Amino acid sequence: MVGGGPGAFIGAVHRLAASMDGQLQLVCGAFSSSAEKSKQAGADLYLPSNRVYDNFEQMILAEKQLPEGERMDAVVIVTPNHVHFAPAKMALEHGFHVICDKPATLTVQEAEGLKKLVDNTGLVFCLTHNYTGYPMVKQARAMAKEGKLGKIRKIVVEYPQGWLATRLETTGSKQADWRTDPARSGAAGCMGDIGTHAENLAEYISGLKIESVCADLSIFVEGRQLDDDGSVLLRFNNGAKGILYASQVSVGEENNLRIRVYGEKGGLEWFQAEPNTLLAKWQNEPVQIYRAGGNNSYLHASALLASRLPAGHPEGYLEAFANIYLGFAKAFWLHAAGKTWKGSDFPTIEDGIRGMQFIDTVVASSFSEQKWVAMK
Protein backbone atom coordinates (compact mmCIF):
# COMPACT_ATOMS: atom_id res chain seq x y z
CA MET A 1 0.00 0.00 0.00
CA VAL A 2 1.13 3.50 -0.86
CA GLY A 3 -0.55 6.03 1.43
CA GLY A 4 -3.33 5.25 3.88
CA GLY A 5 -1.38 6.22 6.99
CA PRO A 6 -2.29 8.40 10.00
CA GLY A 7 -5.18 10.77 9.30
CA ALA A 8 -6.20 9.02 6.09
CA PHE A 9 -9.78 7.82 5.60
CA ILE A 10 -9.80 5.70 2.49
CA GLY A 11 -6.76 3.55 3.31
CA ALA A 12 -8.60 1.69 6.06
CA VAL A 13 -11.58 1.18 3.73
CA HIS A 14 -9.29 -0.37 1.11
CA ARG A 15 -7.68 -2.67 3.67
CA LEU A 16 -11.04 -3.89 4.95
CA ALA A 17 -12.42 -4.39 1.45
CA ALA A 18 -9.32 -6.18 0.21
CA SER A 19 -9.38 -8.66 3.08
CA MET A 20 -13.11 -9.41 3.04
CA ASP A 21 -12.98 -12.43 0.71
CA GLY A 22 -9.65 -13.82 1.87
CA GLN A 23 -8.03 -13.26 -1.53
CA LEU A 24 -5.59 -10.49 -0.66
CA GLN A 25 -3.30 -9.78 2.26
CA LEU A 26 -1.40 -6.62 3.16
CA VAL A 27 2.29 -7.52 3.28
CA CYS A 28 4.13 -4.20 3.07
CA GLY A 29 3.65 -0.48 2.68
CA ALA A 30 4.90 3.08 2.39
CA PHE A 31 2.05 4.67 4.27
CA SER A 32 3.02 8.34 4.42
CA SER A 33 5.26 11.00 2.93
CA SER A 34 6.78 11.06 6.44
CA ALA A 35 9.06 8.06 7.08
CA GLU A 36 8.29 8.27 10.80
CA LYS A 37 4.52 8.18 10.20
CA SER A 38 4.93 5.32 7.75
CA LYS A 39 6.78 3.28 10.37
CA GLN A 40 4.11 4.04 12.95
CA ALA A 41 1.33 2.98 10.56
CA GLY A 42 3.18 -0.26 9.80
CA ALA A 43 3.56 -1.00 13.49
CA ASP A 44 -0.14 -0.32 14.07
CA LEU A 45 -0.93 -2.82 11.31
CA TYR A 46 1.45 -5.42 12.80
CA LEU A 47 3.68 -5.56 9.76
CA PRO A 48 7.31 -6.63 10.18
CA SER A 49 9.52 -3.54 10.34
CA ASN A 50 11.59 -4.64 7.33
CA ARG A 51 8.46 -4.52 5.14
CA VAL A 52 7.56 -0.94 6.12
CA TYR A 53 9.25 1.58 3.85
CA ASP A 54 10.10 5.28 3.89
CA ASN A 55 8.69 5.91 0.40
CA PHE A 56 7.17 4.06 -2.53
CA GLU A 57 10.40 4.10 -4.56
CA GLN A 58 12.22 2.27 -1.78
CA MET A 59 9.35 -0.18 -1.42
CA ILE A 60 9.12 -1.10 -5.10
CA LEU A 61 12.87 -1.56 -5.51
CA ALA A 62 13.25 -3.57 -2.29
CA GLU A 63 10.23 -5.80 -2.97
CA LYS A 64 11.47 -6.50 -6.48
CA GLN A 65 14.58 -8.09 -4.98
CA LEU A 66 12.61 -10.56 -2.86
CA PRO A 67 11.91 -14.08 -4.18
CA GLU A 68 8.71 -14.61 -6.14
CA GLY A 69 6.02 -15.80 -3.75
CA GLU A 70 7.46 -13.70 -0.96
CA ARG A 71 7.46 -10.26 -2.54
CA MET A 72 4.32 -8.21 -3.03
CA ASP A 73 2.19 -8.97 -6.10
CA ALA A 74 0.38 -5.66 -6.44
CA VAL A 75 0.52 -2.04 -5.29
CA VAL A 76 -2.55 -0.30 -3.86
CA ILE A 77 -2.37 3.51 -4.24
CA VAL A 78 -4.53 5.48 -1.80
CA THR A 79 -2.80 8.86 -1.84
CA PRO A 80 -4.03 12.33 -2.84
CA ASN A 81 -4.45 12.65 -6.62
CA HIS A 82 -1.03 14.15 -7.34
CA VAL A 83 0.67 11.00 -6.01
CA HIS A 84 -1.20 8.50 -8.19
CA PHE A 85 0.81 8.57 -11.41
CA ALA A 86 4.39 8.14 -10.19
CA PRO A 87 3.91 5.03 -8.01
CA ALA A 88 1.56 3.46 -10.57
CA LYS A 89 4.08 4.02 -13.36
CA MET A 90 6.99 2.66 -11.33
CA ALA A 91 5.01 -0.36 -10.14
CA LEU A 92 4.00 -1.33 -13.68
CA GLU A 93 7.54 -0.81 -14.94
CA HIS A 94 8.82 -3.23 -12.29
CA GLY A 95 6.21 -5.91 -12.98
CA PHE A 96 3.65 -5.22 -10.25
CA HIS A 97 -0.12 -5.03 -10.74
CA VAL A 98 -1.86 -1.82 -9.63
CA ILE A 99 -5.04 -0.94 -7.76
CA CYS A 100 -5.49 2.84 -7.73
CA ASP A 101 -7.99 5.21 -6.17
CA LYS A 102 -9.84 7.59 -8.50
CA PRO A 103 -9.32 9.82 -10.38
CA ALA A 104 -6.50 7.86 -11.96
CA THR A 105 -4.07 10.76 -12.37
CA LEU A 106 -3.80 14.55 -12.51
CA THR A 107 -3.98 14.79 -16.32
CA VAL A 108 -5.28 12.92 -19.35
CA GLN A 109 -1.71 12.58 -20.62
CA GLU A 110 -0.64 10.78 -17.44
CA ALA A 111 -3.60 8.41 -17.66
CA GLU A 112 -2.82 7.65 -21.30
CA GLY A 113 0.78 6.96 -20.29
CA LEU A 114 -0.40 4.39 -17.78
CA LYS A 115 -2.59 2.76 -20.42
CA LYS A 116 0.42 2.29 -22.69
CA LEU A 117 2.25 0.58 -19.82
CA VAL A 118 -0.74 -1.66 -19.08
CA ASP A 119 -1.03 -2.59 -22.76
CA ASN A 120 2.70 -3.26 -23.09
CA THR A 121 3.05 -5.29 -19.88
CA GLY A 122 -0.31 -7.03 -19.80
CA LEU A 123 -0.50 -6.32 -16.06
CA VAL A 124 -3.80 -5.72 -14.27
CA PHE A 125 -4.79 -2.13 -13.49
CA CYS A 126 -7.88 -1.69 -11.31
CA LEU A 127 -9.44 1.70 -10.62
CA THR A 128 -11.61 1.81 -7.51
CA HIS A 129 -14.84 3.39 -8.73
CA ASN A 130 -16.41 1.38 -5.94
CA TYR A 131 -20.06 2.21 -6.62
CA THR A 132 -20.00 -0.14 -9.61
CA GLY A 133 -19.56 -2.99 -7.11
CA TYR A 134 -23.11 -2.82 -5.70
CA PRO A 135 -25.32 -5.80 -6.67
CA MET A 136 -28.23 -3.55 -7.68
CA VAL A 137 -25.96 -1.41 -9.86
CA LYS A 138 -24.96 -4.59 -11.66
CA GLN A 139 -28.64 -5.56 -11.95
CA ALA A 140 -29.42 -2.17 -13.49
CA ARG A 141 -26.52 -2.51 -15.94
CA ALA A 142 -27.70 -5.98 -16.99
CA MET A 143 -31.29 -4.80 -17.53
CA ALA A 144 -30.11 -1.86 -19.65
CA LYS A 145 -27.76 -4.10 -21.65
CA GLU A 146 -30.49 -6.67 -22.31
CA GLY A 147 -32.73 -3.95 -23.73
CA LYS A 148 -35.43 -4.19 -21.07
CA LEU A 149 -35.68 -0.39 -21.00
CA GLY A 150 -35.66 -0.04 -24.77
CA LYS A 151 -33.48 2.64 -26.31
CA ILE A 152 -32.22 4.88 -23.52
CA ARG A 153 -33.39 8.48 -23.79
CA LYS A 154 -32.56 10.20 -20.51
CA ILE A 155 -30.03 9.80 -17.67
CA VAL A 156 -30.19 11.89 -14.52
CA VAL A 157 -27.36 11.38 -12.00
CA GLU A 158 -26.59 13.42 -8.91
CA TYR A 159 -24.04 13.32 -6.12
CA PRO A 160 -24.64 15.99 -3.48
CA GLN A 161 -22.60 16.35 -0.30
CA GLY A 162 -22.57 19.16 2.24
CA TRP A 163 -19.30 18.71 4.11
CA LEU A 164 -17.47 21.57 2.34
CA ALA A 165 -20.22 24.16 2.83
CA THR A 166 -17.72 26.15 4.92
CA ARG A 167 -14.02 26.72 4.35
CA LEU A 168 -13.05 23.55 6.18
CA GLU A 169 -9.63 23.50 4.52
CA THR A 170 -8.46 26.32 6.81
CA THR A 171 -9.28 24.40 10.00
CA GLY A 172 -6.62 21.68 9.77
CA SER A 173 -8.81 19.11 8.01
CA LYS A 174 -6.43 16.94 6.02
CA GLN A 175 -9.16 15.64 3.72
CA ALA A 176 -10.47 19.12 2.89
CA ASP A 177 -6.98 20.58 2.54
CA TRP A 178 -5.74 18.48 -0.36
CA ARG A 179 -9.10 18.23 -2.13
CA THR A 180 -9.30 22.02 -2.48
CA ASP A 181 -5.67 22.48 -3.57
CA PRO A 182 -5.14 22.57 -7.38
CA ALA A 183 -1.59 21.28 -7.01
CA ARG A 184 -2.79 18.10 -5.30
CA SER A 185 -6.37 17.68 -6.52
CA GLY A 186 -5.95 18.70 -10.18
CA ALA A 187 -8.03 20.87 -12.48
CA ALA A 188 -11.29 20.28 -10.61
CA GLY A 189 -12.41 20.05 -7.01
CA CYS A 190 -15.94 18.73 -6.55
CA MET A 191 -16.17 17.48 -10.15
CA GLY A 192 -12.90 15.58 -9.83
CA ASP A 193 -13.70 14.15 -6.43
CA ILE A 194 -17.34 13.06 -6.78
CA GLY A 195 -18.46 14.24 -10.23
CA THR A 196 -16.30 11.51 -11.77
CA HIS A 197 -18.18 8.92 -9.71
CA ALA A 198 -21.45 10.18 -11.20
CA GLU A 199 -19.98 10.17 -14.72
CA ASN A 200 -18.61 6.66 -14.29
CA LEU A 201 -21.89 5.32 -12.90
CA ALA A 202 -23.90 6.84 -15.76
CA GLU A 203 -21.70 5.20 -18.38
CA TYR A 204 -21.43 1.89 -16.48
CA ILE A 205 -25.15 1.34 -16.05
CA SER A 206 -26.27 2.65 -19.44
CA GLY A 207 -23.44 1.20 -21.50
CA LEU A 208 -23.34 4.55 -23.31
CA LYS A 209 -20.53 7.09 -23.70
CA ILE A 210 -20.75 10.81 -23.03
CA GLU A 211 -20.01 12.68 -26.27
CA SER A 212 -20.26 16.31 -25.18
CA VAL A 213 -21.05 18.43 -22.15
CA CYS A 214 -22.37 21.86 -21.26
CA ALA A 215 -21.10 22.71 -17.79
CA ASP A 216 -21.53 25.40 -15.19
CA LEU A 217 -19.04 25.10 -12.31
CA SER A 218 -19.15 27.34 -9.26
CA ILE A 219 -17.04 28.28 -6.27
CA PHE A 220 -19.50 29.29 -3.57
CA VAL A 221 -17.16 29.39 -0.58
CA GLU A 222 -15.15 32.60 -0.66
CA GLY A 223 -11.40 32.10 -0.96
CA ARG A 224 -11.64 28.54 -2.32
CA GLN A 225 -9.57 27.81 -5.43
CA LEU A 226 -11.49 24.89 -6.97
CA ASP A 227 -15.15 24.27 -7.79
CA ASP A 228 -17.37 23.12 -4.95
CA ASP A 229 -20.55 22.77 -7.04
CA GLY A 230 -21.43 22.02 -10.63
CA SER A 231 -24.28 21.30 -13.05
CA VAL A 232 -23.64 19.57 -16.37
CA LEU A 233 -25.86 18.81 -19.35
CA LEU A 234 -24.80 15.62 -21.12
CA ARG A 235 -25.17 14.27 -24.65
CA PHE A 236 -24.59 10.54 -25.15
CA ASN A 237 -23.43 8.61 -28.19
CA ASN A 238 -26.89 7.12 -28.92
CA GLY A 239 -28.65 10.49 -28.86
CA ALA A 240 -29.72 10.28 -25.21
CA LYS A 241 -29.58 13.42 -23.08
CA GLY A 242 -28.57 13.68 -19.46
CA ILE A 243 -28.13 15.87 -16.41
CA LEU A 244 -25.30 15.51 -13.90
CA TYR A 245 -25.23 17.48 -10.67
CA ALA A 246 -22.40 17.27 -8.14
CA SER A 247 -22.04 19.46 -5.10
CA GLN A 248 -20.07 19.58 -1.87
CA VAL A 249 -21.93 22.63 -0.52
CA SER A 250 -25.44 21.12 -0.47
CA VAL A 251 -25.97 21.61 3.25
CA GLY A 252 -27.30 18.58 5.09
CA GLU A 253 -26.48 16.08 2.35
CA GLU A 254 -24.16 13.16 3.16
CA ASN A 255 -23.24 10.95 0.18
CA ASN A 256 -26.56 11.07 -1.63
CA LEU A 257 -25.54 9.49 -4.92
CA ARG A 258 -28.61 8.75 -7.05
CA ILE A 259 -29.18 7.75 -10.68
CA ARG A 260 -32.27 7.48 -12.88
CA VAL A 261 -32.16 5.94 -16.37
CA TYR A 262 -35.16 6.22 -18.70
CA GLY A 263 -35.71 4.33 -21.94
CA GLU A 264 -38.55 3.94 -24.43
CA LYS A 265 -40.07 1.07 -22.44
CA GLY A 266 -39.17 1.76 -18.82
CA GLY A 267 -36.95 3.41 -16.26
CA LEU A 268 -34.65 2.46 -13.40
CA GLU A 269 -33.81 4.29 -10.18
CA TRP A 270 -31.04 3.49 -7.67
CA PHE A 271 -29.69 5.50 -4.78
CA GLN A 272 -26.76 4.77 -2.54
CA ALA A 273 -28.56 5.57 0.72
CA GLU A 274 -30.73 2.48 0.08
CA PRO A 275 -28.32 0.41 -2.03
CA ASN A 276 -30.09 -2.93 -1.74
CA THR A 277 -33.12 -1.65 -3.65
CA LEU A 278 -33.53 -0.99 -7.37
CA LEU A 279 -36.79 0.48 -8.68
CA ALA A 280 -38.01 -0.46 -12.15
CA LYS A 281 -40.77 1.74 -13.61
CA TRP A 282 -43.00 0.83 -16.55
CA GLN A 283 -45.70 2.54 -18.58
CA ASN A 284 -49.16 1.76 -17.15
CA GLU A 285 -47.79 -0.90 -14.79
CA PRO A 286 -46.94 -0.95 -11.07
CA VAL A 287 -43.40 -0.08 -10.00
CA GLN A 288 -41.27 -3.18 -9.50
CA ILE A 289 -38.90 -3.44 -6.55
CA TYR A 290 -35.74 -5.49 -7.02
CA ARG A 291 -33.89 -6.42 -3.84
CA ALA A 292 -30.29 -7.53 -3.36
CA GLY A 293 -29.66 -10.95 -1.86
CA GLY A 294 -27.99 -14.17 -2.88
CA ASN A 295 -31.26 -16.10 -2.67
CA ASN A 296 -33.24 -13.78 -4.97
CA SER A 297 -33.16 -16.02 -8.02
CA TYR A 298 -34.87 -13.43 -10.24
CA LEU A 299 -31.69 -11.32 -10.22
CA HIS A 300 -29.18 -11.31 -13.04
CA ALA A 301 -26.16 -13.59 -12.56
CA SER A 302 -23.83 -10.60 -12.16
CA ALA A 303 -25.95 -9.25 -9.29
CA LEU A 304 -26.08 -12.65 -7.62
CA LEU A 305 -22.30 -13.00 -7.86
CA ALA A 306 -21.94 -9.61 -6.18
CA SER A 307 -24.20 -10.67 -3.27
CA ARG A 308 -22.67 -12.43 -0.27
CA LEU A 309 -25.73 -12.79 1.99
CA PRO A 310 -29.38 -13.83 1.72
CA ALA A 311 -31.97 -11.11 1.14
CA GLY A 312 -32.79 -9.09 4.25
CA HIS A 313 -29.17 -8.98 5.45
CA PRO A 314 -28.05 -5.55 4.22
CA GLU A 315 -24.83 -5.26 2.26
CA GLY A 316 -23.37 -1.83 1.67
CA TYR A 317 -20.37 0.33 0.93
CA LEU A 318 -17.65 -2.03 2.20
CA GLU A 319 -19.12 -5.03 0.40
CA ALA A 320 -19.37 -3.06 -2.86
CA PHE A 321 -15.75 -1.99 -2.42
CA ALA A 322 -14.82 -5.61 -1.72
CA ASN A 323 -16.43 -6.67 -5.00
CA ILE A 324 -13.94 -4.44 -6.84
CA TYR A 325 -11.09 -6.19 -5.03
CA LEU A 326 -12.60 -9.61 -5.69
CA GLY A 327 -12.78 -8.75 -9.38
CA PHE A 328 -9.13 -7.72 -9.26
CA ALA A 329 -8.18 -10.99 -7.54
CA LYS A 330 -9.92 -13.03 -10.25
CA ALA A 331 -8.10 -11.03 -12.93
CA PHE A 332 -4.80 -11.59 -11.10
CA TRP A 333 -5.27 -15.35 -11.18
CA LEU A 334 -6.21 -15.24 -14.86
CA HIS A 335 -3.02 -13.30 -15.55
CA ALA A 336 -0.98 -15.76 -13.48
CA ALA A 337 -2.40 -18.59 -15.59
CA GLY A 338 -1.38 -16.82 -18.78
CA LYS A 339 -4.97 -15.95 -19.71
CA THR A 340 -6.41 -12.58 -20.64
CA TRP A 341 -8.05 -10.59 -17.86
CA LYS A 342 -9.50 -7.95 -20.17
CA GLY A 343 -13.25 -7.76 -19.90
CA SER A 344 -13.24 -8.35 -16.13
CA ASP A 345 -16.08 -6.55 -14.35
CA PHE A 346 -14.24 -3.78 -12.56
CA PRO A 347 -13.11 -0.30 -13.61
CA THR A 348 -9.78 -0.17 -15.46
CA ILE A 349 -7.36 2.43 -16.79
CA GLU A 350 -9.77 3.01 -19.68
CA ASP A 351 -12.30 4.24 -17.12
CA GLY A 352 -9.53 6.35 -15.63
CA ILE A 353 -8.93 8.03 -18.99
CA ARG A 354 -12.67 8.66 -19.37
CA GLY A 355 -12.71 10.29 -15.95
CA MET A 356 -9.80 12.59 -16.76
CA GLN A 357 -11.37 13.50 -20.11
CA PHE A 358 -14.61 14.29 -18.30
CA ILE A 359 -12.83 16.59 -15.82
CA ASP A 360 -10.96 18.45 -18.56
CA THR A 361 -14.05 18.80 -20.75
CA VAL A 362 -16.28 20.03 -17.93
CA VAL A 363 -13.69 22.61 -16.84
CA ALA A 364 -13.20 23.76 -20.45
CA SER A 365 -16.96 24.03 -20.99
CA SER A 366 -17.47 26.02 -17.81
CA PHE A 367 -14.95 28.63 -18.99
CA SER A 368 -16.04 28.57 -22.63
CA GLU A 369 -18.41 31.01 -24.33
CA GLN A 370 -19.38 28.17 -26.67
CA LYS A 371 -20.59 26.01 -23.75
CA TRP A 372 -21.11 22.70 -25.59
CA VAL A 373 -17.69 21.03 -25.67
CA ALA A 374 -16.93 17.61 -27.17
CA MET A 375 -15.44 15.01 -24.85
CA LYS A 376 -12.31 13.56 -26.40
Same domain? For 277 and 333 the reply is: no
Phi first, then psi: what are they for 295, rounded to 5°? Answer: -105, 5
pLDDT of residue 58: 98
Q: Are residues 114 and 170 in the same domain?
A: no
Together in a domain, 119 and 172: no
pLDDT on residue 343: 85
Please check whether residue 375 lies inside any domain of the structure: no
Count of all residues that appear for the chain in the document: 376
> How many domains does the structure of the chain reveal?
2
Helices first, then strands: H and E counts in the chain:
13, 13
Q: Is 282 in a helix, a strand, or coil?
A: strand
The predicted structure's pLDDT at residue 156: 98
For residues 236 and 342, membership in a common domain is answered with no
Q: Is the dihedral of CA 99, 102, 106, 108 positive or negative?
A: positive
CATH number of the CATH domain containing 121:
3.40.50.720
**Residue 296: predicted pLDDT:** 94
Residue 154 sits in the same domain as residue 77: no
Residues 157 and 264 grouped into a single domain: yes
- Domain co-membership, 146 together with 250: yes
Q: Are residues 41 and 158 in the same domain?
A: no
In 57-124, at which residue ranges do the beta strands (DSSP E only) sit? 74-78, 97-100
Contacts 24+ apart (CB under 8 A), 176-185: 178/80, 178/81, 179/80, 179/226, 180/224, 180/225, 180/226, 180/228, 181/225, 181/226, 182/225, 182/226, 183/82, 184/80, 184/81, 184/82, 185/80, 185/81, 185/82, 185/226
**The pLDDT value given to residue 67:** 96
Of the candidates 6, 87, 101, the residue with the CA atom closest to the CA atom of residue 45? 6
Whether 35 and 159 share a structural domain: no
Residues 283 and 152 in one domain: yes
Query: Looking at the structure, do residues 189 and 267 belong to the same domain, yes or no?
Result: yes
Q: Is the peptide bond before 6 cis (omega within 30 degrees of 0)?
A: no
Domain assignment of residue 291, yes or no: yes
User: What DSSP character marks residue 133?
Assistant: G
Distances (CA, A) of 285 to 10, 280, 288: 42, 10, 9
My answer on whether 359 and 223 are in the same domain is yes
Asked if residue 321 is part of any domain, the answer here is no
Residue 335 inside a domain? The answer is yes
Q: Which domain holds residue 195?
A: 141-310+354-367
**65 inside domain:** yes
Q: What is the pLDDT along the chain (376 residues), one digit of tens a residue?
A: 999 998 888 999 999 999 999 999 999 999 999 999 999 999 999 999 999 999 999 999 999 999 999 999 999 999 999 999 999 999 999 999 999 999 999 999 999 999 999 999 999 999 999 999 999 999 999 999 999 999 999 999 999 999 999 999 999 999 999 999 999 999 999 999 999 999 999 999 999 999 999 999 999 999 999 999 999 999 999 999 999 999 999 999 999 999 999 999 999 999 999 999 999 999 999 999 999 999 999 999 999 999 999 999 999 999 999 999 999 999 999 999 999 998 889 999 999 999 999 999 999 999 998 889 999 8
Between CA 271 and CA 269 the distance in angstroms is 7
Domain membership of residue 257 (yes or no) is yes
Q: What is the CATH number of the domain that holds 249?
A: 3.30.360.10
